[in-house]
Structure 1
Amino acid sequence: MRLGIDIGGTKTAAVALGDGDAMSEMLRLPTGFGADEVLATAQSTVERMSELAGVPADRFDSIGVGIPGAVDAATGRVAHAVNLGLEGLDLGPRLSDRFGVEVRVENDVKAAALGAHHLLTNAGEAPDSMAYLNFGTGLAAGILQGSRLLRGGHGVAGEVGHLPVDPAGVRCGCGQTGCLETIASGSAIARMWPTAHPLPALELFDAADAGDERAVEVRERFLGGVAAAVRALVLTVDVDAVVIGGGLAALGGRLDEGVHRILDEWAAESAFLASLELSRRVRVIPLGFPAAAVGAALVGAAAPESDSPWPKS
């Protein structure tokens, strides 16, 4: 039985994969803030999942953790995760010492890419290469070539949210101007569509469907940004499939249909883009599928990668 834990900014989710990749019910706990609280949350999650599975924690075959921020997958150290208040935490080694099981740690979006690939494989698709586009508060991608994560020379492969696309746009939190993340993300929608509604994206799409001209304008700008992220990934790494996930994937069919529509419009104007069949490559992850937790379980069971993505000091 392989345990996967997805530590998010506000909640932590966990699943266990059993024989035949049967998935347990998902456990959710609030995530603490700061190194001590994050570690305590992870420990509590392992203990609670051990109770639910009916096995001692040291009998899990593997434990994997997905967590936001800069992660050294080779050592299990989280260098920093701003939203969790972390500046250096040996999460993998600390959990391994506590439970007597080897623990592997991965960036949450990269873990989710593995989970999404697992989902497609079980559905009979098994793409040789795939990108997982995570649209949450921000925007980032995890990329797989074969069954391996593409990290790049410094561990930042897939940071498409910080590709500048609009020189006249707003300043991004990264310090650049007009990044994709300022157009296609939860924070972008909150800025372009100010509202007290707890789910701004849902209200935006509802208002656009009802004919609100301003809502239509914002929705189309957002969908154009999502489509641009798909195009950027295909043009740079030519993946067979692009899976859209993250909190905004809850828009479901409306997101799927909107992105396909825009990609098809671009294809109608460009023979080159038409030849790439961009819309054919896009999927939106099913609502409720715990991609990051499933991917974390797969990370935990994977053989260690020989090289750290971080430069040697």
Structure 2
Amino acid sequence: MENKKLVGVDLGGTSIKFAIMTIDGEIQQRWSEETNILDEGSHIIPDIIDSINHHLKLYAMTTDQFAGIGMGSPGSVDRVNGTVIGAYNLNWKNLVYPKREIEKATGIPFFIDNDANVAALGERWKGAGDNQDDVAFITLGTGIGGGIIANGSLLHGVSGSAGEVGHITVDPKGYLCTCGKRGCLETIASATGIVRVARDMAEEYAGDSELKRHLDDGDEISAKIVFDYAKTNDTLALLVVDRITYFLGLALANIGNTLNPSYIVIGGGVSAAGDFLLTRVQKYFAEFTFPNVRDNTKLRLATLGNVAGVVGAASLVLENTKD
């Protein structure tokens, strides 16, 4: 096992990222392919197989040099059977069989998990989690996902829904979520949620604000634009950011009070707001946590960026063979 290599695959709706890594987590080769979602996503698994086999040949490597392939995927993942269903951004509406097909075509053991869980493993292993045994991860993107590592192991729950932090209820009378209930964190603090909050608050705001003028002119906005205006002390933008970070701080405090991890790591596109976001979330996190958690669970920004997925995917091999 010591001299074996790992393959990490980060499967997304736009691109598929690949990496060949050492057992110690050093990336030796990295590449990507465009995700072809045509024909109900039927090209995706063959493309992954072709890409891996092509690159092994390119680097003059043989299958017996590898301990395994790990992959993070959107959708509902059955880790035991290695299947995925309901990954709509991949056009996978019906059951697909990545494990069966990739193992057969490559001859290398294959392991799969949800993409947010995989990113959590990556940040825990080689990122902001400092390889601690207890780390929670939240990714703020178009939606909100997450992953929880407790006592050194990734939590899945009885039906695979552990770590779905985007559906923590923070405002019971709030926005209707795609999951069917109201007030989920995702409806407020995701990239799309932030835009919705900004639009609604702008309708009620009567003061001077460049963000309000931007919205009143009918221009498109994004979470980044909201934070950029806030950084210029735009009054409305600051109110929007305060509302978002209040609910985010509340949700993270609930995670902290329940799990008391060493770190809660914040990633995803919204986290690009950096310390401007982190310090405001930290204020509310401190308000809603009790002293032992407040003093010992720390909030951190993710550090791996685009490689979190492939690093975490590769670590799935280690997670599944460590016993």
TM-score with structure 2 length normalisation?
A: 0.83
Q: Which moved more, 1:49-58 or 1:240-249?
A: 49-58
CA contact (8 A) 2:192 2:223 kept: no
1:39-76 Cα offsets, whole Å, 9 max, x none, are 13422442454356442456433111100111111111
Following the alignment from structure 2 to structure 1, what is the Cα–Cα distance between the partners of residues 254 and 221? 28
Following the alignment from structure 2 to structure 1, what is the Cα–Cα distance between the partners of residues 133 and 70? 23
Q: Residue 116 in 1 paired to residue 123 in 2? A: yes
State the match for 2:166 in structure 1: 161
Stretches of structure 2 that go unaligned for 5 or more consecutive residues are 200-214
Following the alignment from structure 1 to structure 2, what is the Cα–Cα distance between the partners of residues 82 and 25? 29
- Amino acid in structure 1 at the alignment position of 2:251: A
Change (3 A) 1:100 1:92: same
Of 95, 105, 109, the match for 1:98:
105
Q: Residue 66 in 1 paired to residue 72 in 2? A: yes
Q: Give the superposed CA RMSD.
A: 2.7
After the TM superposition, which residues 123-134 of structure 1 pair with which residues of structure 2 at under 5 Å, given as runs?
Answer: 125-134=130-139
State the match for 2:224 in structure 1: 202
Following the alignment from structure 2 to structure 1, what is the Cα–Cα distance between the partners of residues 68 and 144? 29
Q: Per-residue deviation at 1:141?
A: 1.6
Change (3 A) 1:241 1:53: farther
Q: Per-residue deviation at 1:156?
A: 0.6
1:209-250 Cα offsets, whole Å, 9 max, x none, are 112222112212222232223112112222221111122222
- Amino acid in structure 2 at the alignment position of 1:242: I
CA contact (8 A) 1:129 1:241 kept: yes
State the match for 1:310 in structure 2: none
Q: Which moved more, 1:105-114 or 1:58-67?
A: 58-67
Following the alignment from structure 2 to structure 1, what is the Cα–Cα distance between the partners of residues 18 and 250? 32
Following the alignment from structure 1 to structure 2, what is the Cα–Cα distance between the partners of residues 220 and 50? 50
State the match for 2:301 in structure 1: 284
Change (3 A) 1:113 1:287: closer
Of 135, 140, 152, the match for 2:140:
135
State the match for 2:244 in structure 1: 222
Q: Per-residue deviation at 1:113?
A: 1.4
State the match for 1:248 in structure 2: 270
Q: Which moved more, 1:87-96 or 1:111-120?
A: 111-120
Change (3 A) 1:181 1:52: farther
Q: Residue 237 in 1 paired to residue 253 in 2? A: no
Following the alignment from structure 2 to structure 1, what is the Cα–Cα distance between the partners of residues 57 and 194? 40
Q: Which moved more, 1:182-191 or 1:197-206?
A: 197-206
Change (3 A) 1:82 1:232: farther
Q: Residue 46 in 1 paired to residue 63 in 2? A: no
CA contact (8 A) 1:180 1:225 kept: yes
State the match for 2:21 in structure 1: 17
Following the alignment from structure 1 to structure 2, what is the Cα–Cα distance between the partners of residues 289 and 278? 30
CA contact (8 A) 2:53 2:106 kept: no
CA contact (8 A) 1:231 1:278 kept: no
Q: Which moved more, 1:185-194 or 1:149-158?
A: 185-194
CA contact (8 A) 1:10 1:31 kept: yes
CA contact (8 A) 1:120 1:127 kept: no
Change (3 A) 1:52 1:250: farther
- Amino acid in structure 2 at the alignment position of 1:292: G
DSSP 3-state at the match of 2:305: coil
CA contact (8 A) 1:74 1:305 kept: no
Stretches of structure 1 that go unaligned for 5 or more consecutive residues are 307-313
Q: Highest Rg: 1 or 2?
A: 2
- Amino acid in structure 2 at the alignment position of 1:215: A
